[in-house]
Chain A
Amino acid sequence: MQQIIFFLIRNKNFLLFIALFSISIFLTIQTHSYHKNKFVNSSNAITGGIYSIKSSITDYFNLKEENKILINENTRIRKQLESFKSKVVYQNIDTSSILSKYYFVSAKVINNSFSKTKNKLTINKGKRDSIQLDMGVITSKGIVGIIDNLSNKYATIQSILNTNSQINAKLKNAKHFGSLVWNAEDPNVIQLIDIPRLAPVKTGDTIVTGGRSTIFPEGILIGVVIDFELTEDENSQNLNIQLFNDMTNLEHVYIIDNIDTQEIINLEKGLENVE
């Protein structure tokens, strides 16, 4: 007994080191699976608060750029609106009666990372703004990521620039689907894999979201093809895609709330139970 205690005292530094090191490794491995890191994330009140103070200062440096982006978006949406108006016979529709499957919530990015292999963003909206896990996040130009962790006032997003990220996407003018992944090399170039060999791919083709999940609606812009090649087994092609979004400079984002999500999830759960 005495010897055990002596042993513990003599090696207390080593044992402490092993214990704390194992805890760290455990926390690290948890982050490798999607939204399992409940404990260590920057959506809590302290880190979120510090980041929002920082962003309230640094935002002023980007005001001009942000205004330009907003004006461009307004112009584009105004154009679309006019084209819809000319098609619809009844001119004065009550906008509150237009049924949409999707609601949009705007949020501000208070911390952005793009130089690591597993990048996350922090935004200033959380549970109290009825944000939930697994909602999609986009900007006016393209997709950004998926909500990963939540607190009352803040949330973190798993960016598409994350080696764990895998999003369903397709060619805009064909029906071929693939998965969007990132090889951690360039923050503006992302890879679309598992596109069938027969799919007619050309450089310059537009890539959009596939709409096969409840997270993103179909047809959200992603980027254009810059080059492509067959895989070694010659069954599918891998595409390099230049993003429309500048992931290094994000400020205002929209969170997509699909009102049918719960229903779809319940239905799928029901099916599993039957089996």
Chain B
Amino acid sequence: MLNNEIFINIIRFIVLVLTQVLLLNHIDFLGYINPYIYILFIIVFPFTGNKSLLIFLSFILGLTIDFFLDSGGIHAAACVFIAYIRPQVLKYSFGISYEYNTIKMSNTDFIKQFSYVGSMVLFNHIVLFSLEIFNTNHLLLLLKSTLFSSIFSIIIILSAITIFSKKPR
């Protein structure tokens, strides 16, 4: 059972990284909008899993993306950040009891899912784009990229969760 979970997470890691760098980074919708869905790994990581492990894995995940995109450490920083704040986000999205109940993402109602995924993506993208642009002259560009990329990412991540979640029963 445990081995199975580790295996699934490894496969998920590889598939998400490859999808991101080979496919989704070349969409360039309207010239500059790309969805970043590899953070799905952090979002669906078991809620009761080890937090330190998640922070470390997020760093590796972000760094892998950075290697492909020649972006230094911006993805690593953004991933580590959302991995660290994930317990808080979970708490206000699903209520304080998320740690003791075995909540399945697909079984909760849409509003809760949306607030969880939405906040995770938004925090990730704010850190990501502020580090990438790193210049107060481009504040408008920062807000624009964050907003549009977030909308794009949230839509794709929510549909991915809906499509790939196991049906109840």
Contacts and interface: CB of A to CB of B under 8 A. Distances in A.
B138 A117 contact: yes
B56 A20 contact: yes
Interface string A2-41: 0000000000111011001101111111111000010011
B69 A113 contact: yes
Interface stretch (A42-50, A90-98, A210-218): A42-50
B22 A47 contact: no
Size bracket, chain A contacts: 35 or more
Given A114-B28, A115-B34, A24 B67 contact: no
Contacts of B68: 42, 47, 50-51, 111
Contacts of B160: none
Nearest to A32: B134
Contact of B76 (A24, A41, A149, A248): A24
B28 A24 contact: no
Q: Most chain-B CB neighbours within 10 Å: which of A12, A47, A186?
A: A47
Interface in B18-70: 18, 21-22, 25, 28, 31-34, 51-52, 55-56, 59, 62-63, 66-70
B72 A40 contact: yes
A54 B22 contact: yes
Interface of A: 12-14, 16-17, 20-21, 23-32, 37, 40-42, 44, 46-47, 50-51, 54, 111, 113-118, 120, 122, 149, 156, 163, 184-187, 248
Given A27-B72, A50-B22, 19 more contacts: A12-B52, A13-B55, A13-B84, A16-B55, A17-B84, A24-B59, A24-B77, A24-B80, A31-B71, A37-B72, A40-B67, A113-B69, A113-B70, A115-B33, A117-B135, A117-B141, A120-B70, A149-B70, A187-B31
